């Protein structure tokens, strides 16, 4: 059974615990700048939305990588970066339409959500259950992807 992150912006308090847990898990330090999940604030902080890789079925980042450093984990369904193969060219960062593949200047490699290999620390750390890890068929992932693809984000935020 594939699982996905279910994000409920209405429950997010912008506490940044998800960013801290993510950066600690992957980088060994509490550094939100190195987190694979980000909290975006809208309307001058009135609305906070956790945002991370949607693990696209047709992952443009995977197709764009010239050295095949991005691969899908068959157990978790997450697209993961093979650090030993990544050359840091950043082509995948350009290919991602959602801006969720980022470059880490400290390592010279790209970073993105890998669902913590099936145990996402962001969901574990979220005190309000704004981020939970659930069966993919229950998340409304297709609906979220359609919403994320809207050009007029002001109109989408009001919906």
What SS3 class is residue 59? coil
Mean pLDDT value across residues 65-80: 96
Here the tokens at position 88 are: 């840091």
Q: Is residue 159 part of a domain?
A: no
What is the phi-psi region of residue 120: left when phi exceeds 0, alpha when psi lies from -120 to 50, beta otherwise?
A: beta
| DSSP state at residue 70 | E
Q: Is residue 134 part of a domain?
A: yes
pLDDT for the residue numbered 156? 45
Determine contact, residues 50/39, Cβ cutoff 8 Å.
Answer: yes
pLDDT digits (tens, 9 = 90+) for 87-128: 999 999 999 999 999 999 999 999 999 999 999 999 999 999
Half-sphere exposure of 65 (CA within 13 A, CB side): 21
pLDDT for the residue numbered 2? 83
| Whole-number average pLDDT of the chain | 89
Half-sphere exposure of 64 (CA within 13 A, CB side): 17
Segments forming the whole domain that contains residue 34 = 3-153
Asked whether the predicted pLDDT for residue 146 surpasses 70, the reply is no
- Number of structural domains, the chain? 1
Query: Is the pTM value of this prediction over 0.85?
Result: no
Q: Is residue 158 part of a domain?
A: no
CATH code assigned at 129:
3.30.70.20
Count how many residues are written for the chain: 159
User: Would you place residue 151 in the very low, low, confident or very high pLDDT band (cuts 50, 70, 90)?
Assistant: very low
| DSSP state at residue 94 | H
């Amino acid at each position: 059974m594939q699982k996905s992150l279910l994000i409920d912006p209405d429950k997010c308090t912008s506490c940044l615990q998800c960013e801290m847990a993510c950066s600690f898990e992957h980088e060994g330090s509490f550094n939100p700048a190195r987190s694979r999940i980000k909290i975006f604030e809208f309307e001058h902080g009135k609305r906070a939305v956790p945002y991370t890789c949607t693990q696209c079925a047709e992952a443009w980042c995977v197709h764009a990588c010239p050295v095949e450093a991005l691969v899908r984990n068959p157990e978790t369904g997450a697209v993961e970066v093979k650090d030993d193969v990544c050359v840091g060219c950043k082509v995948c960062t350009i290919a991602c339409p959602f801006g969720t593949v980022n470059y880490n200047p400290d390592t010279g490699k790209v970073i993105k959500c890998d669902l913590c290999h099936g145990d996402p620390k962001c969901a574990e750390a979220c005190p309000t259950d704004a981020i939970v890890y659930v069966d993919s068929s229950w998340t409304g992932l297709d609906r979220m992807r359609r919403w994320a693809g809207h050009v007029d984000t002001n109109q989408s935020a009001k919906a």
